[in-house]
Amino acid sequence: MHFIYSCAMFVYLKYTGLGRVFFLQLLKANVAEVQSTTLTVVIIVHFIRTFVVIAMNGRDSNHVIYHVVPKDPHWLFVGPQYHALHHVHPDRFMASVVKIFDWVAGTAYSLRNKNVAITGSSGAFGSSILSQLQTEGVRNIYTLEFGTHWTYRDLSKVGPIFDKADILILAHGTKNQDAMEANCNSTIRLIRLYMERRLSGASGGRILPEIWYVGSEVEMHPTFGVTDMQRYAHSKRAFVPYARALYDCPHVVYRHIVPAAFQSRMDNAFVSSEWAASSTMWWIRRGARYIPVTYTGIADLNFLKFAFWVRPDKDMVAGIGVGNRFMDTPGEKGRLP
């Protein structure tokens, strides 16, 4: 009981005058149970900590100055990288010790005022995720149409768009003869160009660039001897080592979306693309970077393969961030407004 009352005093004295009145009344009612020595120690520690933070110009373990907020290395505990995002988005990233509150409330991420570029926007998932993005307060959405803005070999028209895009969503795909070129090779070229433009220094912002890639549960489950499924699986699995390297890369926030089959031109399933898109956003609002959108459980199992079995192709991402004066040196700091 003494510990509980001490913690209560710490919180209420720190955050509200009304809390102080409440706690004084509590003391009168339970004076026999509260040791004044314990309370005094708590108050002394609190005031010492407060003066230390003042002397350090407001900096403490969770307040570090960054020019670009680094990638958060912690999955559970709140560090300075995570807390810095709260100063960019004051209504998000509100947890102070562990992230459980933000997981429950869906406040571990924000899309507000971000610019998004997306491929495959005319497909089932792409059109559904567009609807989701429009409810999240994004600033601009740039739809990159195949054959109009880009082809497998010509990316000259997307460069200026990439300069402005905070997030690149790669939602295009096919099971046809060009599956490898569509699902893997051209995707890698798009990512390389995006990272080159975003990390050039001229177009960089306070937040790391993001890439969302729409994979598939076929990364894990068998193809059952179906020819077009074999092509599709081969192309998706060929991309995974590169995806795994991006997942670990400190210069980009990479999100790997793994949906089960949904209704589209490629699949006839009993769940809709709207369900897949809304489930994707549910996970992303909670800060997930591997996103299992599943009713089979295969995507959940695939996380173990993705995280612990797949060997990252580090050579493919070795040049990312080189030449950016804010990212070449780990831990280099500048001012975050």
Extended beta strands in 204-306, E state: 210-214, 253-259, 290-293
With 0-12 / 13-18 / 19 or more C-beta atoms within 10 angstroms meaning exposed / middle / buried, residue 137 is exposed
> What helix, strand, coil percent values describe the chain, rounded to 5?
45, 10, 45
What pLDDT was estimated at residue 37?
Answer: 73
Contact partners, residue 81, CB within 8 Å, separation at least 6 = 66, 69, 70, 71, 72, 73, 74
pLDDT single digits (tens) 100-150: 999 999 999 999 999 999 999 999 999 999 999 999 999 999 999 999 999
Contacts of 117 (CB under 8 A, 6+ apart): 141, 142, 144, 158, 161, 162, 165, 167, 168, 169, 194
Parts of the chain with a pLDDT under 50: 1-6, 8-16, 18, 325, 328-337
Within 8 A by CB and 6+ apart from 18, the residues are: none
Spatial distance between the Cα atoms of 158 and 164, rounded to a whole number of angstroms = 10
pLDDT tens across 235-257, in order? 999 999 999 999 999 999 999 99
Task: Name the CATH superfamily housing domain 115-317.
Answer: NAD(P)-binding Rossmann-like Domain (3.40.50.720)
Angle at 167 between CA 163 and CA 169, to 5 degrees: 115
pLDDT, position 275? 98
From residue 242, how far is each of 191, 305, 312, 316, 318 by CA, in Å?
A: 10, 14, 6, 7, 11
Q: What is the pTM of this model?
A: 0.82
